């Protein structure tokens, strides 16, 4: 117990009950309890099933003189129990004096159905398992503060079944993805979280010190270059659920630390990948929903049918009347944006931004929010894709697609660049942009270039923000609500 925490009446009373438990010869924090069923399983049993033993947290207690009812809950669900003074004798009094809502107990008894139709255990014996020293929040009013819900997620899970269901759905989604990839010949591998170079995406990294080696290292912003090394080493299909870190802003659809799923397949191109992506995502949606339609914040989103494909250039031309191919420099693009009166809420975002970052900002401003049903956005400008393969017909764009749903970029994928000389040239361009002040420009990764020089097969790679997909499919409007324990500022 933290000595800085105030000793409230609640704490004093519950501490006294803990000592009362010891005085009665019981252990307030038991070692184990042998169960025959979970509460959910017990609630399915026939009446008069004897010697049923369940355990869990007491989430409700109601006293009626010589009779008491309560509910015991665990992650499987809850079940009602009943205690009778004439059955338990002194143990009924001990229960009354020792047990509070929030405590963990084990009970054994016979199953019956009450007059209201609820399956119940008629308790013959009970065992104390663990004393809670604080009251649980009141179910309907105790967890209304959004920050408190994130900070005390364990309490929200106890008091709000929808929260527990949301995190079950997250596991269901991840399990479905993993099974689908495994079933199509992919192999799951692990790659480093601490890296010498922050490569694999255009983002600002977290920097830390590796004391044992006396070097500065980065938390990975993506697993991409290591997964591609695995393909160079001989694997055909690899994937990783990679916790990734980007030292950037927080908003409902962005988190600095997030779960990124990436996979890479030898001998595919980005069009093969688009077809596989559509099948994979439709499978996931149907596994969770039993249908291809999803409701998000009142908006109906259909994953059914063939998903349209539109080029990056055509989108911006349609939505901003700006032809990005007619704006070959940062200055010409800024002039075109000024001519169309296109501004940003925070104009500082364009300070020092290169042409590639400006194009990305423009797209996110004028086009992305309008894309509701799944859309494949293709043929990105080459400056936005330092690791993607140059298109054979138009050298100014790359063979890349993004899957956008409800204004969120769900998937980013390429035909991968496997030409080491082209890659070296693009790394040099990124280095120049970085030197000019673009903090998101990619660092030169000499070790990855060395790997490329030994030869790589044709590859198509793919990345998906797992948290965004979970939020979309569970109608959750802030990514931190699909993270079990999101990082917050310390409490004062």
The model's pLDDT over 383-418, given as tens digits with 9 standing for 90+, comes to: 888 778 999 999 989 999 999 999 999 999 999 999
pLDDT at 6 over 70: no
- Reduced to 3 states, what is the DSSP secondary structure of residue 134? coil
Is the confidence at residue 3, as pLDDT, over 70?
A: no
In 3D space, the residue among 230, 294, 281 whose CA is nearest the CA of residue 413 turns out to be 281
pLDDT confidence band for 434 (50 / 70 / 90)? confident
CATH class of the 159-307+373-482 domain in this structure: alpha beta
Query: Is the pLDDT at 12 greater than 70, yes or no?
Result: yes
Give me the mean pLDDT over the 66-94 stretch: 96
pLDDT at residue 18 is higher than 60:
yes
Rounded distance between C-alpha atoms, residue 459 and residue 232, angstroms: 10
Residue 54: is its pLDDT beyond 80?
yes
Q: Is 87 left (phi over 0), alpha (psi -120 to 50) or beta?
A: alpha
The CA distance from 437 to 103, in Å, is 57
Confidence of residue 435 (pLDDT cuts 50, 70, 90): confident
| Contact criterion met (CB below 8 Å) for 379 and 402 | no
Give the global pTM.
0.87
For residue 119, what is the enclosing H or E element?
strand 119-130
Q: For 135-188, give the secondary structure using H, E and C.
A: CCCCCCCCCCCHHHHHHCHHHHHHHCHHHHHHHHHHHHHHHHHHHHHHHCCCEE
pLDDT above 70: residue 456? yes
Q: Which helix (H) or strand (E) holds 356?
A: helix 355-366
Q: The tokens 């004093």 sit on which residue?
A: 12
309: left (phi over 0), alpha (psi -120 to 50) or beta: beta
Q: Supply φ then ψ for residue 445, to 5 degrees.
A: -115, 90
Confidence at residue 96, expressed as pLDDT on a 0 to 100 scale: 95
pLDDT at 200: 82
* Pairwise CA distance, residues 276 & 271, whole Å: 9
| Domain chopping of the chain, boundaries | 9-130, 159-307+373-482
The CATH T-level fold of domain 9-130 is: OB fold (Dihydrolipoamide Acetyltransferase, E2P) (2.40.50)
Alpha carbon of residue 116 to chain centroid: 40
**Measuring CA to CA, which residue among 463, 287, 457, 321 is closest to residue 385?**
463
Q: Phi-psi bin for 51: left (phi > 0), alpha (psi -120 to 50), beta?
A: left
Angle at 329 between CA 326 and CA 333, to 5 degrees: 65
pLDDT at 442 over 90: no
Q: What would the mean pLDDT of 34-55 be, rounded to a whole number?
A: 98
For the segment 325-346, what is each residue's pLDDT rounded down to a tens digit? 999 999 999 999 999 999 888 8
pLDDT for the residue 142: 53
What pLDDT is recorded for position 141? Answer: 52
pLDDT at 1: 43
At 133-180, the pLDDT tens digits run 999 887 645 577 888 889 999 999 998 889 999 999 999 999 999 999
């Amino acid at each position: 117990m933290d000595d800085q925490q105030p000793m409230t009446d609640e704490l004093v009373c519950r501490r006294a009950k803990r000592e009362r438990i010891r005085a009665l010869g019981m252990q307030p924090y038991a070692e184990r309890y042998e169960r025959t069923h979970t509460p959910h399983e017990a609630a399915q049993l026939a009446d008069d099933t004897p010697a049923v033993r369940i355990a869990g947290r007491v989430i409700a207690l109601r006293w009626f003189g010589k009779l008491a009812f309560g509910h015991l809950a665990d992650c499987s669900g809850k079940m009602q129990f009943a205690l009778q003074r004439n059955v338990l004798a002194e143990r009924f009094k001990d229960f009354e004096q020792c047990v509070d809502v929030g405590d963990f107990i084990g009970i054994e008894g016979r199953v019956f159905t009450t007059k209201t139709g609820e399956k119940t255990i008629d308790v013959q014996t009970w065992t104390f398992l663990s004393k809670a020293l604080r009251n649980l929040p009141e179910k309907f009013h105790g967890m209304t503060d959004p920050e408190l819900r994130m900070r005390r997620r364990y309490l929200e899970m106890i008091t709000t079944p929808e929260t527990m269901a949301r995190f079950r759905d997250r596991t269901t989604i991840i399990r479905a993805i993993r099974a689908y990839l495994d079933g199509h010949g992919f192999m799951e591998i692990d790659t480093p979280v601490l890296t010498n170079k922050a490569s694999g995406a255009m983002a600002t990294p977290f920097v830390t010190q590796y004391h044992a080696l006396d070097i500065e290292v980065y938390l990975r912003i993506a697993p991409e270059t290591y997964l591609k090394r695995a393909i160079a080493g001989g694997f055909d299909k690899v994937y990783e659920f990679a916790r990734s870190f980007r030292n950037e802003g927080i908003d409902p659809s962005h988190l600095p630390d997030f779960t990124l799923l990436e996979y890479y397949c030898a001998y595919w191109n980005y069009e093969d990948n688009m077809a596989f992506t559509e099948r994979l995502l439709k499978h996931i949606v149907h596994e969770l929903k039993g249908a291809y339609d999803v409701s998000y914040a009142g908006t109906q989103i259909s994953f059914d049918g063939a998903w349209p494909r539109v080029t990056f250039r055509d989108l911006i031309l349609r939505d901003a009347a700006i032809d990005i191919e007619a704006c070959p420099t940062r200055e010409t693009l800024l002039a075109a944006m000024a001519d169309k009166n296109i501004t940003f809420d925070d104009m500082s975002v364009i300070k020092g931004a290169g042409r590639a970052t400006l194009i990305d900002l423009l797209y996110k401003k004028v086009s992305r929010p309008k894309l509701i049903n799944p859309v494949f956005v293709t043929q990105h400008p080459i400056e936005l894709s330092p690791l993607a393969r140059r298109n054979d017909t138009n050298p100014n764009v790359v063979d890349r697609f993004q899957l956008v749903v409800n204004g969120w970029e769900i998937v980013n994928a390429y035909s991968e660049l496997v030409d080491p000389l082209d890659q070296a040239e693009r790394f040099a361009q990124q280095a120049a942009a970085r030197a000019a002040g673009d903090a998101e420009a990619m660092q030169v990764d000499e070790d990855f270039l060395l790997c490329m020089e030994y030869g790589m097969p044709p590859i198509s790679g793919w990345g998906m923000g797992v948290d965004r997909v979970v939020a979309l499919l569970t109608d959750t409007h802030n990514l931190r609500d699909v993270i079990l324990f999101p990082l917050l500022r310390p409490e004062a």
